[in-house]
Amino acid sequence: MASYIATASFLLSTLFTALVLCQSQAQLNSTFYATTCPNVSSIVSTVLQQALQSDPRIGASLIRLHFHDCFVNGCDASLLLDNSANIQSEKNAAPNTNSTRGFNVVDNMKTAIENSCPGVVSCADILALAAEAAVSLAGGPSWSVLLGRRDSLTANQAGANTSIPSPLESLSNITAKFTAVGLNTNDLVALSGAHTFGRAQCRLFSSRLYNFNGTGNPDPTLNSTYLTTLQQTCPQNGSGFNVANLDPTTPDGFDNNYFSNLQNNQGLLQSDQELFSTTGAATISIVNTFSSNQTAFFQSFVQSMINMGNISPLTGSSGEIRTDCKKVNGS
């Protein structure tokens, strides 16, 4: 009898473990809104196409929102919450303040979706869909976005200050931040390739132009012709808020030129150039592969975006579906 009970309890625990594993893998899926909001992808894409007409960098800005959201408490749209009595907004964290943009476009997407399928689609999923649409519309790959995330009830400003990789950090520090959220070196290089479009403010790289690491000289890994161009865009005593193209060759197109730029010492951010210029780094061979093979880059990028989108989502009955992405329901 005892052995029967032991066997039965073992079978039950095995079944439970299998169910948990199955559930964790099935939490997100590409057909989550197939019956409740079948046009959600096209709605997101239409709003983005409208925004691109007046703002060619908005696609890159939206993919950055997804990135900065996922690295803090997972992909839960916590980044979108404004300050309130109970919430210290992540928008005011150092990596985001006067830097992240595109929140109005996310609001426009949410409004259009609510008009079509009220109370169904999360803001976290809108960020994931917008990132895919941004890449696809810029000539990059398309993919089936996994969906089913729910929205957080809180934000984590302190986490945003510590968890989001900085363009001024060493490769080893950035790698550690990727590892902390379950992403590997291939993910790091592939996702850095999103810097094939968009802009960056001078304040994020001006130290490379004039006084790198306190040497009083420019960063020696910076191409001298490129240096001169950047110094014209970013004068030494300027405001720091002028912007430069992350990819000087095809600034608004999604391609593999970013990696060729690194090989030519034309990475804009320190965190970009380090992928190729850090002696002995495991990232160098990946940069070389992506530079010579755009298909390999696109395939890795898609998988890494899916991996990033899988960071700690709220699912099931956790969190909520916000009506307004800027605030928790009922607040």
If we measure between CA atoms, which residue out of 226, 212, 208 comes closest to residue 266?
226
Please give the helix or strand (H or E) that residue 10 lies within, else none: helix 2-26
> Phi and psi (nearest 5°) for 147?
-130, 170
Residue 195 annotated as catalytic: no
Residue 25 corresponds to which tokens in the numbers above?
């893998």
**Apex CA 187: angle with CA 181 and CA 188, to 5°?**
85
If we measure between CA atoms, which residue out of 101, 106, 99 comes closest to residue 48?
106
Q: What's the Cα-to-Cα distance from 319 to each of 27, 92, 152, 227, rounded to whole Å?
A: 14, 22, 5, 47
Question: How far is CA 228 from its chain centroid?
Answer: 30
Please give the helix or strand (H or E) that residue 201 lies within, else none: strand 199-201
Which one is catalytic: 64, 66, 68, 195?
A: 68
Dihedral sign, Cα of residue 59, residue 60, residue 62, residue 67: positive
Dihedral sign, Cα of residue 286, residue 291, residue 292, residue 294: positive
Dihedral sign, Cα of residue 114, residue 116, residue 118, residue 119: negative
Residue 268 corresponds to which tokens in the numbers above?
């804009």
Other Cβ atoms closer than 10 A to 202: 19
**How are the residues of the chain apportioned to helix, strand and coil, as percentages rounded to the nearest 5?**
55, 5, 40
Catalytic site residues? 68
